[in-house]
Structure 1
Amino acid sequence: MQLLQAFIALLVLFRSSASGVVVPRQSEITEDSYFYGQSPPVYPTPEMPGSGPWAVAYAKAVALVSQMTLEEKANVTVGHSTSTGCSGVTGSVPRLGWPGLCLSDAGNGLRATDLVNGWPSGIHVGASWNRDLAYQRALHMGGEFKTKGVNVALGPVIGPLGRVAKAGRNWEGISNDPYLGGELVYQTVLGIQTAGVITSVKHYIGNEQETNRNPSSNVSAVSSNIDDKTIHETYLWPFASAVHAGAGCVMCSYNRVNNSYSCQNSKLLNGLLKTELGFEGWVTSDWDAQHTGLSSTLAGLDVAMPNSSFWGTNGENLTLSVTNGSVPESRVTDMVTRIVASWYQMGQDTNFPVEGIGMPANYYDPHVTINARDPSSKPVLIDGAMEGHVLVKNTNNALPLNSPKMISIFGYDAQAPPANDIESASQVFGAWTVGGESILDYAGFFSPLPPPQIAINGTIISGGNGANSPAYISAPFDALNEQAYNDGTAIFWDFTSQDPTVDTSTDACLVFINAFATEGYDRVGLHDDYSDNLIENVAASCSNTIVVIHNAGPRLVDQWIENPNITAVIFAHLPGQDSGRALVQLLYGYESFSGKLPYTVAKNESDYINAGNPSEPEGIYELFPQSDFTEGVYIDYKGFDQNDITPRYEFGFGLTYTTFAYSDLDISLSPSVSTSCLPPSPENIIQGGIASLWDVVATVTAVVQNTGEVDASEIAQLYIGIPGGPVRQLRGFEKVLIEAGTSVTVSFDLLRRDLSEWDTGAQSWVLQQGQYGVWVGASSRILPLSGTLVIS
């Protein structure tokens, strides 16, 4: 089998390099062997449907594009660098007054400029489990992009999904669970695009590790080998949610999928995205992710960024491919129509700021700056920062703090970093110097050294590379100092010692550590000895030790979690610029913790089964690295359930300052539910897939009572056991504020999509006959209510 796989990999690489077209045996198309290089061809590229909510924008785009020459259309598809500070711009058509599009990073705020906010990162949004907050964050953040003249926000991120626990970019994504990620990316797309900015949802698809994500020398990029069922039920799921929300752009990823580069993989682009999901928008390459000209054109790529040696500087090679008959002109016309239609769809043809006018600051006028920060965003920033904190341990009523006489603060993560690179706070590679000496950017380590496991020189509010320059940083120590002033509390601190002296009169010891991650590198481990030793040394002398972890992904705690002197533990994630201010609100009980884990915290790295470590080139695959997703859909909590592994803290877990009780489960099935299989076809496809998949087929309700003495929000969670699938899958959640002593009824609508499985033979979603397990509770393993949904 290994020799066969190696042969297929070689054959696919040769064919991809030569023509980009891979023709498997017919059986490989119809059977579930879309795996190990079996990426079936899907041609031609479907033209933009231009239906439903896109009909008006489509008609306008057709009218404008019809006036363009072939050369003008080809020019639009090729990206260019720009002095305005945009990450890239498309070509323009000055003759017709079409300005082109400015594209800029990133998922937690606008990069490469000043006077913008540093928002909570994707993983922090996931930990909030709050749909409305996700929308409000996106709406305000999108407004900042628009104010600075940016047409396209390069985000949100839902790939990586989080299959690899050590993946360097998990912090940019929302959750390891496709349902939770899909629900919150839906709101994020709505919010940004309501502000009038196009979202470029990324990275499509299977981009689950940084190791070998790009080709280098004679080594190909890693191939994510994913079977048909898994790609539909797991990795494509949140992208379908984003498309259903109306996403105007999708960014294809660096990696290969089944040995075909993502940006020239016709199955992914033509087949899944533009046919099955009815995608109305356009596909851009990740920066320098285009590897062929003709193949990528025919496979469904619409824009090459940041330039194209294949299509030509101004698209002249693309023009030639039309004139010599290699590419039909209708394909180029569709590419441009999709791009221009998104411009109309977001209302960018009316009163949109000049391209990149605020990128960078002072570009057009050295005496004028453009402040994109709306004062109305303040409550969204602080609420977003608070709600992504997850309290996982709180013994002896260690929290909330109540005007302590003295607190002691330890750890490198407590204070603000010593420098903030305003040009790009995340640009950690390539020296940034003052006076010839390398300085620290806010990520917290010296450039250009490879990133360590921790950012030793200050608190982190986001991961590295892909983040923006915050307007300010409220560090934990700063906010605690202010609270101490108000309470008359004395503070002892030591940010540098690994074995600090502990004042015996202190009421509480707060230890601040972090787990850093960045684009370009996968994490070395899921814990580090330096931080663990610091915690153990403080706890040895302090009976009330509270640990705060700013983490860019799962972080193991079993080295010290059972120490009785460690009374409270907080996964603080990446809160954005209001980090310290938000934390103090929670520590002192002005607000209750309300976040829950959007991933599983294991007891050991090995508990993550196949998906703990990034795949490395080995043996016969040295030149063609392979990452076999043999665990299928069983990642994160689904894998822990399947293999009967007890986690330290399960997916969906989080404490508050009160307690909740669940009762009165009710399950009702819509009367007209049919289990008939409806394959995808142009007549029944809307944005996001088959129209009937979005029909409500069942409703589940339950009563949640606040049995404590503190008003707090609970995240009630619904899990479904689909016959033949994982033990349980998240299929609903509601975050509700419940006053002490009162009850609320939570309701979950189940869509046909939520109860269906992907049938590889029928090539469609199927609602099965039989019994579906139903559970409602506080986490994936705290499920006091259970019942059965019967579909006949």
Structure 2
Amino acid sequence: MVAVKMMRQLAQVTATAVLVGEAAAQNSAQANITSDSYFYGQSPPVYPSPQQPGIGPWADAHTKAVALVAQMTPEERANITVGFTTTTGCSGETGSVPRLNWPGLCLLDSGNGVRNTDFVNGWSSGIHVGASFNRNLSYERAFYMGGEFKTKGVHVALGPAIGPLGRVAEGGRNWEGFSVDPYLSGQLVYESVKGIQEAGVTATTKHFIANEQELNRNPIREVASLSSNIDDKTMHETYLWPFADAVRAGTGAIMCSYNRINNSYASQNSKLLNGLLKTELGFEGFVVTDWGAQHTGIASALAGLDMVMPNSRNYWGPNAGNLTIAVNNGSMEDSRLTDMAVRIVASWYQMGQDEDFPELGVGMPRNILAPHAIVDARNPVASPIVLRSALEGHVLVKNVNNTLPLNKPKIIGVFGYDAPAPSRYNVGAQSGDTPNRWQFGYDSVLNYLGFLSTTAPAPPFAANGTLTSGGGSGAALGAYISAPLDAIQQQAYLDGTQVYWDTISANPLVNGATDACLVFINAFASEGPDRTALYDDYSDALVQNVAANCSNTIVTIHNAGIRLIDQWIENPNVTAVIFAHLPGQDSGRAAVQILYGLESPSGKLPYTVAKNESDYNVLKPDQPTGQYQRFPQGDFIEGVYHDYRDFDRKNITPRYEFGFGLSYTTFEFADLSVAKADGAVSTYLPPGSNIIEGGVASLHDVLARVTAVVHNTGDVDAMEVAQLYVGIPGGPVRQLRGFEKVSIAAGDSATVSFDLVRKDLSEWSVEEQSWVLQEGNYNVYVGSSSRDLPLTGTLTF
């Protein structure tokens, strides 16, 4: 109940907040509600909206943008803040200013690759990148992906995604983000933003903020969107944390979430946009709505919104004429409209898009099957990165008696609906989507629009082929798909192996002489609906049926989120299990390299796998109930305690802990060193001092360094992820605060080092409104997972 107390304390400060627009009416209906169990949060007003700082790396782009925008009329400035109906494959296009040679911007999904076009790579999804625990790989993936966006004439990539953060275990879009852990997500989004933008494309970090479920994410008739009610401490230490890293990396755009936060819609929440994002974090870029997520007019502009998508059917009116009217009648300062335009144009300059940028949306017609110019956006240099990214997201969790890797088996059986390639053409276009949309068949069976909520459940698994991506606007498909069955057939050709397969039957026949039975299942998730369970009986029965007739059953799961496996994991005939996540187009090729030992698995779980659904403190999405059905409430009363932090607090034994993953070799950790940095360290950091992108500059001062030695004690060259956890006094038992992925030859060692910066060791003080170090002992742990931490030490402040 600590979180509830904090929220009530915050309520005392903000109870008199005056909210603007539609949110004010909704909030006033609940202003006097009191309860011993819940706090219906209020979002305090923060005005005016800060102008773009234009400092540091943004100084030159800011100067150029100010000069260009100064030449625009008010109508032209307004015109570039809204979307227009597009004739290309862009998800949205802004207005342009032809007389000044400003072309407007093409915005396109997704954070996992260029969507709904041809001749691009199908990259691994966010959750797969999270499982890699590899910063360098995250950067390379993003850089080459960004190059594909640029080649297609896309100025703004609508990704990466770090919201949702996985609060709801059954969340439909958890697979788009990297992890449930804010530190891991922050480290990987930092590299992803850098990579995309160094390729010349604006990264749009999304969804800001607390978009943790699909149910009630949008208003439907008289029912408002869900309000994610979050206390100040939890906001900073959990949900805002990775966004601070994205801003620190220089992200050029931030996309608002659909939901309300403390009863004010994200796109008009001045506390979030003006206060946290543009003031506290020093954000230089522009804020754009998610598609159709604007709910007020001038109030949203005053609250910090800079761009509305997807078209002119918005509260700012055709060509955003209502903005110029507001300026003329004094409802809005001209400086706000100017700043909106400057932020948008500055991102264009910042990414170097004013020189030699391809034609907007080139080679991307609305109907991908219609005749069109072929623009091959793939860089041949990227092919090894596509495969490497697919490989490193595989997590081996069980391997009895070194079942894997396979060694030229004489007979193998391949079973399961997830083994073959899926249908490449749509079996029926989604309502509201482009006709003959180039997409998986299983994506089309969902009854939802890409930007509207629905109550239709997602199918628990994709039954017509291997799962390489989740569904919805985050889905991205490559020019081909390497399916597991195809890749296994190729390996069988090389090894002289006899292959039997049945990818249709729920209870397939098994040859009694089979050396290994490979079962492929999946767990599907998508934008629109949330998942209905973390398992499905059909797939579990399939595994059990094969295992009943095969003493060497190896299960591979392509999972778009947490997947429980307790119906069969202790079956002695199930000898190996791989969480293969969503590898993208090289799925089968990567699976074979792992299964046959061409690559030792090196992935780690970016979430906790429980033994029971009831072990998750937030399993299902919040439901509107009772008298609050018109204004659904989601109270984040668990505070910072979700996933492994909650398991540790309650001493719940998971099936597989956060950070867990096996290898084909063994590692040992030794020689821990924990040392404070030179010089005196103040425990207090004055709020608002020396703000740079991402927050107060001194938050990233190094206060301590931890080193350890990792020994490869086996006989296989492999990679290991050394993980550092810290116990901050008064906080969770331990929190991830460092990781390093190292490649170590058999019998060799590697030294890993972790710099702990001030923010890593601080907690957010609601009273001080600042990050504060605690006086006392900080426990330091190093090992291979959140619960396998053989090295322990202490820091004292």
Native 8 Å contact 2:308 2:314 kept in 1:
no
Native 8 Å contact 1:696 1:750 kept in 2:
yes
- The residue aligned with 2:644 is 637
How far apart in 2 are the matches of 1:714 and 1:351? 42
2:553 pairs with 1:545 = yes
Report matched runs for 1:445-524 at 5 Å: 446=445, 448=447, 451-465=458-472, 466-524=474-532
- The residue aligned with 2:453 is none
- The residue aligned with 1:586 is 594
How far apart in 2 are the matches of 1:386 and 1:488? 24
2:160 pairs with 1:161 = no
Among 374, 389, 392, which residue is 2:394 paired with?
Answer: 389
Q: Which amino acid aligns with 2:52?
A: M
Native 8 Å contact 1:443 1:463 kept in 2:
no
Query: Per the alignment, do residues 306 and 689 of structure 1 end up closer, same or farther by CA in structure 2, a change over 3 Å counting?
Result: same
Among 325, 342, 349, which residue is 1:344 paired with?
Answer: 349
Give the Å deviation of 1:24.
Answer: 13
Query: What's the C-alpha RMSD, in Å, of the aligned pairs?
Result: 2.7
2:251 pairs with 1:251 = no
How far apart in 2 are the matches of 1:51 and 1:426? 50
2:309 pairs with 1:309 = no
Name the SS for the 1:661 alignment partner. Answer: strand
Native 8 Å contact 1:412 1:456 kept in 2:
yes
Native 8 Å contact 1:417 1:444 kept in 2:
no
Q: Percent identity?
A: 65
- The residue aligned with 1:674 is 681
- The residue aligned with 2:790 is 784
Native 8 Å contact 2:17 2:43 kept in 1:
no
Native 8 Å contact 2:716 2:745 kept in 1:
yes
Query: What TM-score do you get using the length of structure 1 for normalisation?
Result: 0.94
Cα-to-partner distance string for 1:326-382 (whole Å, 9 max, x where unaligned) = 000000000010111111000000111111112228999956310001111110000
Give the Å deviation of 1:489.
Answer: 0.3
2:284 pairs with 1:280 = yes
Name the SS for the 1:396 alignment partner. Answer: helix
Q: Which amino acid aligns with 2:208?
A: Y
Query: What TM-score do you get using the length of structure 2 for normalisation?
Result: 0.94
- The residue aligned with 1:199 is 203
Among 372, 379, 390, which residue is 1:374 paired with?
Answer: 379
2:571 pairs with 1:566 = no
2:112 pairs with 1:108 = yes
Give the Å deviation of 1:20.
Answer: 8.2
Cα-to-partner distance string for 1:548-579 (whole Å, 9 max, x where unaligned) = 00000000001110000000000000000000
Query: Per the alignment, do residues 45 and 427 of structure 1 end up closer, same or farther by CA in structure 2, a change over 3 Å counting?
Result: farther
Name the SS for the 2:349 alignment partner. Answer: helix
Report matched runs for 1:607-626 at 5 Å: 607-609=615-617, 611-626=618-633
Cα-to-partner distance string for 1:233-255 (whole Å, 9 max, x where unaligned) = 00000000000000000000100
Native 8 Å contact 2:90 2:154 kept in 1:
yes
Name the SS for the 1:315 alignment partner. Answer: helix
- The residue aligned with 1:261 is 265
- The residue aligned with 2:450 is none
Name the SS for the 1:749 alignment partner. Answer: strand
Native 8 Å contact 2:117 2:368 kept in 1:
no
How far apart in 1 are the matches of 2:270 and 2:133? 35
- The residue aligned with 1:604 is 612
How far apart in 2 are the matches of 1:540 and 1:755? 51
How far apart in 2 are the matches of 1:190 and 1:67? 31
Q: Which amino acid aligns with 1:787?
A: G
Q: Which amino acid aligns with 1:663?
A: A
How far apart in 2 are the matches of 1:73 and 1:10? 36
Native 8 Å contact 1:673 1:697 kept in 2:
no
How far apart in 1 are the matches of 2:57 and 2:268? 28
Give the Å deviation of 1:451.
Answer: 2.8
How far apart in 2 are the matches of 1:211 and 1:370? 38
How far apart in 1 are the matches of 2:796 and 2:665? 35
Among 744, 753, 766, which residue is 1:747 paired with?
Answer: 753
Query: Per the alignment, do residues 688 and 439 of structure 1 end up closer, same or farther by CA in structure 2, a change over 3 Å counting?
Result: closer
How far apart in 1 are the matches of 2:739 and 2:638? 26
Give the Å deviation of 1:295.
Answer: 1.2
Q: Which amino acid aligns with 1:520?
A: G
Native 8 Å contact 1:669 1:789 kept in 2:
yes
Q: Which amino acid aligns with 1:180?
A: L
Native 8 Å contact 2:458 2:530 kept in 1:
no
How far apart in 1 are the matches of 2:657 and 2:107? 38
Query: Per the alignment, do residues 417 and 266 of structure 1 end up closer, same or farther by CA in structure 2, a change over 3 Å counting?
Result: same
2:762 pairs with 1:756 = yes
Native 8 Å contact 2:668 2:712 kept in 1:
yes
How far apart in 2 are the matches of 1:556 and 1:462? 19
Name the SS for the 1:181 alignment partner. Answer: helix
Native 8 Å contact 2:398 2:576 kept in 1:
yes
Native 8 Å contact 1:527 1:557 kept in 2:
yes
Query: Per the alignment, do residues 71 and 367 of structure 1 end up closer, same or farther by CA in structure 2, a change over 3 Å counting?
Result: closer
Name the SS for the 1:443 alignment partner. Answer: helix
2:776 pairs with 1:770 = yes
Native 8 Å contact 1:445 1:455 kept in 2:
no
Native 8 Å contact 2:417 2:464 kept in 1:
yes
Task: Figure out how many residues of one structure are paired with residues of the other and give that number.
Answer: 776
How far apart in 2 are the matches of 1:440 and 1:614? 28
Q: Which amino acid aligns with 2:184?
A: L
Among 706, 709, 713, which residue is 1:700 paired with?
Answer: 706
Query: Per the alignment, do residues 346 and 615 of structure 1 end up closer, same or farther by CA in structure 2, a change over 3 Å counting?
Result: same
How far apart in 1 are the matches of 2:29 and 2:633? 19
Name the SS for the 1:761 alignment partner. Answer: coil
Give the Å deviation of 1:418.
Answer: 2.5
How far apart in 1 are the matches of 2:442 and 2:734? 38
Among 131, 141, 144, which residue is 2:145 paired with?
Answer: 141
Q: Which amino acid aligns with 2:141?
A: R
How far apart in 2 are the matches of 1:484 and 1:432? 40
Unaligned runs of 5+ in 1: none
